[in-house]
């Protein structure tokens, strides 16, 4: 059995895990001066608490070690003064570490809650009056040793969506230069693009993963706290797509839409033909739709990291707020794509002629159907996401989009990119996922 020497390259999704679950429910008060205090009742097993308060709009992130108040038997932190004027609600995330007695590793756990702020009555929080119009349909902080299959499906396929990846959550998969997904992995979830069987140099050189939420939403909020990958030609995605690869009420992709909350390119030195930075300092948010593939339309925007770091250096909150009126994608609460539904509808807005595919839908059709949340990491591809003309510094682009052997070119030229891949830095790490349906 010849294993192609590819298995060292695993841009996979890595989830935070912990095994014990003391229950905490923080008590929150907001002082007149705008500071926020968070109290957590003591649990015997909690040895130390690291309270991280995430506030959306305005976004600020604080990371404190809490003090223990013996009188009230609570762990307690107080944030510096915030400007909470016009803030209707904020998201509170409490991370805490604790040790159990017998020399276990410290465990990490997280609690989140939406706190509504009442502007009339002196900024008191209204933690138990969360609007009935919002229902959290999925919350997963990957607090277990394996993926919760009640929440997720995963792809078993070599199709890679046209990239140089094959998707399977874990496990080795290559044998004898053949990749028979049906035989070697069991069931195959996507047969297009040779997804179930490949041979020789057409074998995707990278194993990756794609997971798909079992719940769907239509108008709602999605939040993913993630650390994105770094490494040349790595393409992570956090996105919403109608079920079965984009087939929604208005037909196959792109007729029923797609919302990309976060896409990036893991390259550190990539620039487009105009010399603009296009690598891991950029996060992109894009909507896709259209009237058949030839009439594919997209509207996107990006956010450039300007403080010298990259988006891959730390965890960031990638989110979308999707209503009939708008699709707002944010990172850490700051807008990336702030898109308003065209008042005349998408058909007119794009000057499409003929029968309006979306006539029977709502005012924001095709963005009014049920979508899955997808988290995945892909690599390369020939569809134009990494254009040939862009500048990648000394290493260049190790394949041409027009090449009939693009996958094997990529692998044969690995000396040009492999040195930019370091351990788990090529993985997308996800701390939590939250999907909230608006009713
Ligand atoms: C649609 O047509 C109008 C009027 O000709 C034009 O201003 C507009 O840019 C067009 N929109 C698109 C998306 O092509
Ligand atoms: C990459 O490797 C192939 C050999 O598989 C070679 O033909 C090709 O020119 C190389 N470079 C690029 C930029 O494609």
Residue 284 and residue 213 share a domain: yes
**Contact (Cβ atoms closer than 8 angstroms) between residue 237 and residue 262:** yes
Q: By alpha-carbon position, which residue is closest to atom 6 of ligand 1?
A: 351
Q: Is residue 147 part of a domain?
A: no
Burial class (CB in 10 A: 0-12, 13-18, 19+), 172: exposed
Q: Is residue 356 part of a domain?
A: yes
Residue-range definition of the domain harbouring residue 294: 152-437
Whole-angstrom distance, CA of residue 264 vs CA of residue 283: 5
Whole-angstrom distance, CA of residue 281 vs CA of residue 269: 9
CATH code: domain of residue 179: 2.60.120.200
Residue 174 and residue 91 share a domain: no
Comparing CA positions, the residue from 272, 296, 292, 273 lying closest to residue 284 is 272
- The DSSP line for 373-415 is EEEEEEE--SSSSS-TTSB-GGG--SS-TT-TTHHHHHHHTGG
The Å distance, Cα 58 to ligand 1 centre, comes to 36
Residue 298 and residue 424 share a domain: yes
Per-residue pLDDT of the chain (439 residues; tens, 9 = 90+): 222 333 333 455 555 443 344 556 778 888 777 778 888 776 655 555 666 666 655 555 556 667 777 777 777 888 777 777 777 777 777 766 655 444 455 566 667 777 777 766 665 665 544 444 677 788 888 877 788 888 999 899 999 888 999 998 755 566 778 888 888 888 898 888 899 999 888 889 898 889 999 999 999 999 999 999 999 999 999 999 999 888 899 999 999 999 999 999 999 999 999 999 999 999 999 999 999 999 999 999 999 999 999 999 999 999 999 999 999 999 998 999 999 999 999 999 999 999 999 999 999 999 999 999 999 999 999 999 999 999 999 999 999 999 999 999 999 999 999 999 999 899 999 988 999 888 7
Q: Which residues line ligand 1 (CB under 6 A)?
A: 350-351
Query: Alpha-carbon dihedral of residues 119, 124, 130, 134, nearest 10 degrees?
Result: 40
Q: Which of 96, 120, 144 is the last residue of a domain?
A: 120
Residue 232 and residue 349 share a domain: yes
Q: And the tokens for 437?
A: 């349906």
Q: Is residue 334 part of a domain?
A: yes
CATH code: domain of residue 68: 2.60.40.2140
CB atoms under 10 Å from CB of 209, counted, come to: 25
Ligand 1: residue of 351, 352, 353 to mutate (most ligand atoms within 8 A of CB) is: 351
User: 3-class DSSP state for residue 241?
Assistant: strand
193 ligand 2 Cβ < 6 A: no
pTM, two decimals, is 0.75
Check whether the bond before 58 is cis (ω within 30° of 0).
Answer: yes
Domain count, the chain: 2
Whole-angstrom distance, CA of residue 232 vs CA of residue 416: 9
Whole-angstrom distance, CA of residue 371 vs CA of residue 418: 35
């Amino acid at each position: 059995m010849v294993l192609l020497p590819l298995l060292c390259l695993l841009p996979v999704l890595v989830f935070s895990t912990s095994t014990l679950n003391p229950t905490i429910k923080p008590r929150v008060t907001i002082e007149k001066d705008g500071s926020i205090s968070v109290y957590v009742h003591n649990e015997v097993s909690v040895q130390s608490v690291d309270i991280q308060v995430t506030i959306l709009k305005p976004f600020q992130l604080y990371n404190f070690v809490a003090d223990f108040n013996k009188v009230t038997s609570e762990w307690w932190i107080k944030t510096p003064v915030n400007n909470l004027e016009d803030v209707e609600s904020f998201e509170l995330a409490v991370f805490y570490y604790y040790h159990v007695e017998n020399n276990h590793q410290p465990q990490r756990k997280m609690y989140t809650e939406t706190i509504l702020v009442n502007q009339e009555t002196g900024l008191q929080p209204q933690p138990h009056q969360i609007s009935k119009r919002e229902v959290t349909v999925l919350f997963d902080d990957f607090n277990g040793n394996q993926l919760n299959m009640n929440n997720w499906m995963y792809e078993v396929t070599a199709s890679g969506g046209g990239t140089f990846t094959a998707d399977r959550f874990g496990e080795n998969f290559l044998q004898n230069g053949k990749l028979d997904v049906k035989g070697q992995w069991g069931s195959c979830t996507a047969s297009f693009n040779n997804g179930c069987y490949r041979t020789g140099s057409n074998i995707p050189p990278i194993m990756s993963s794609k997971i798909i939420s079992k719940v769907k939403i239509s108008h709602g909020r999605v939040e993913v706290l993630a650390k994105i990958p770094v490494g040349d030609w790595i393409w992570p995605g956090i996105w919403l797509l109608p079920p079965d690869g984009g087939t929604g009420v208005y037909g196959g992709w792109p007729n029923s839409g797609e919302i990309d909350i976060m896409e990036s390119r893991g390259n550190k030195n990539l620039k487009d033909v105009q010399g603009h930075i296009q690598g891991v300092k950029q996060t992109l948010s894009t909507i896709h739709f259209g009237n058949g593939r030839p009439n594919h339309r997209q509207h996107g925007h990006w956010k450039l990291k300007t403080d010298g770091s990259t988006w891959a250096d730390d965890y960031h909150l990638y989110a979308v707020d999707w209503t009939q009126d708008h699709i707002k994608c944010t990172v850490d609460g700051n807008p990336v794509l702030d898109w308003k539904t065209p008042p005349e509808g998408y058909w007119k807005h794009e000057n499409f002629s003929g029968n309006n595919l979306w006539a029977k839908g709502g005012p924001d059709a095709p963005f009014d159907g049920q979508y899955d949340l997808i988290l995945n990491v892909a690599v390369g591809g020939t569809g134009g996401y990494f254009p040939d003309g862009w500048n990648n510094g000394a290493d260049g682009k190790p394949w041409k989009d027009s090449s009939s052997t693009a996958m094997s070119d990529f692998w044969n030229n690995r000396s040009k990119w492999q040195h930019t891949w370091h351990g788990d830095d090529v993985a997308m790490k996800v701390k939590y996922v939250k999907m909230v349906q608006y009713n």
